[in-house]
Homo-oligomer: A and B are copies of this chain.
Amino acid sequence: MIRVCVQTEEFDVGQEAARLSRVSDSVGGMSLFVGQVREQNDGLESLSLEHYPGMTEALLTELAQQAHARFNLLACTVVHRVGTLGVGAPIVFVGSSAPHRAAALQATAFLIDRLKTGAPFWKREHFKGGRTAWVEAKEADDTAAAAWD
């Protein structure tokens, strides 16, 4: 089972977990990741997230299918929010379920590492006082994504 959503609304971690859990009696482990807007004494107030409608869903689905096949998953889910998100707001949910824990843990790490640089989302930071800045792509993220090649 593959579930991919791009949405402005907040997702429900409990509900997403329940979906991944109930997909089969063979589920032994479920690994979930949630990314959220972080403030590090830099006066960040919010992020605005822009994406490329259509292409985003297609690439996330492809990514989820890759994870499903590579790690023999029973289910995987990717939910990514767009729009304006305040500090502390959840941005992305990734989850995998598999018979054994190692596959689930690895699949979720793979999905979030690949999603960061491989799906058409762009973040803009809004700081106190009105300053804004596009988030720069990080080399560390490219390295993390490439480590799964």
B-contacting residues of A (Cβ < 8 Å)?
A: 12-15, 17-18, 21-22, 25-40, 87-88, 90, 99, 101-102, 104-105, 108-109, 112, 144
Contact = CB atoms under 8 A, between A and B. Distances in A.
B21 A88 contact: yes
What is the oligomeric copy number?
2
Contacts of A108: 31, 105
Nearest to A29: B35
A26 B14 contact: no
Nearest to A39: B25
Contact of A35 (B33, B101, B112): B101
A37 B47 CA distance: 39
Contacts of A40: 26, 99
Contact of A38 (B33, B99, B112, B144): B99
Contact of A26 (B31, B38, B112, B144): B38
6 contacts: A21-B88, A25-B38, A25-B88, A26-B39, A30-B33, A31-B31
A11 to B, nearest CB: 10
Q: 6 smallest A-B Cβ distances: which pairs?
A: A14-B14, A28-B38, A32-B32, A25-B39, A13-B17, A30-B34
Contacts of A35: 28-30, 101
A17 to B, nearest CB: 4
Nearest to A141: B101
